[in-house]
Chain A
Amino acid sequence: KNQVEQSPQSLIILEGKNCTLQCNYTVSPFSNLRWYKQDTGRGPVSLTIMTFSENTKSNGRYTATLDADTKQSSLHITASQLSDSASYICVGGDSWGKLQFGAGTQVVVTP
Chain B
Amino acid sequence: ETGVTQSPTHLIKTRGQQVTLRCSSQSGHNTVSWYQQALGQGPQFIFQYYREEENGRGNFPPRFSGLQFPNYSSELNVNALELDDSALYLCASSSAGSHNEQFFGPGTRLTVL
Bound together: yes
- Identify the A interface with B (CB < 8 A): 4, 31-32, 41-46, 49, 51, 89, 91, 93-104
Which residues of A sit under 8 angstroms from B105, Cβ to Cβ?
43
**A97: which of B41, B42, B97 is its contact (CB, 8 Å)?**
B97
- Check if A96 sits within 8 Å of B107, measured CB to CB: no
Which residues of A sit under 8 angstroms from B41, Cβ to Cβ?
103-104
- Identify the B interface with A (CB < 8 A): 2, 4, 31, 33, 35, 40-45, 48, 56, 88, 90, 92, 94, 96-107, 109
User: Do A44 and B104 contact each other (CB < 8 Å), given the known contacts A97-B48, A101-B43?
Assistant: yes
Residue of A nearest to B4 (CB): A43
Complex alpha-carbon distance, A46 and B104, angstroms: 9
- Check if A98 sits within 8 Å of B99, measured CB to CB: no
User: Do A46 and B107 contact each other (CB < 8 Å), given the known contacts A101-B42, A101-B44?
Assistant: no
Which residues of B sit under 8 angstroms from A103, Cβ to Cβ?
40-42
- Check if B107 sits within 8 Å of A42, measured CB to CB: yes
Which residues of A sit under 8 angstroms from B48, Cβ to Cβ?
97-98
User: Do A93 and B90 contact each other (CB < 8 Å), given the known contacts A41-B109, A43-B104, A104-B42?
Assistant: no
User: Looking at A4, A31, A44, A100, which has the most chain B CB atoms within 10 Å of its CB?
Assistant: A44
User: Do A94 and B98 contact each other (CB < 8 Å), given the known contacts A43-B105, A43-B107?
Assistant: yes
Residue of B nearest to A51 (CB): B99
**A41: which of B2, B35, B107 is its contact (CB, 8 Å)?**
B107
Complex alpha-carbon distance, A101 and B38, angstroms: 12
- Check if A31 sits within 8 Å of B99, measured CB to CB: yes
Which residues of B sit under 8 angstroms from A42, Cβ to Cβ?
106-107
Which residues of B sit under 8 angstroms from A98, Cβ to Cβ?
45, 48, 56
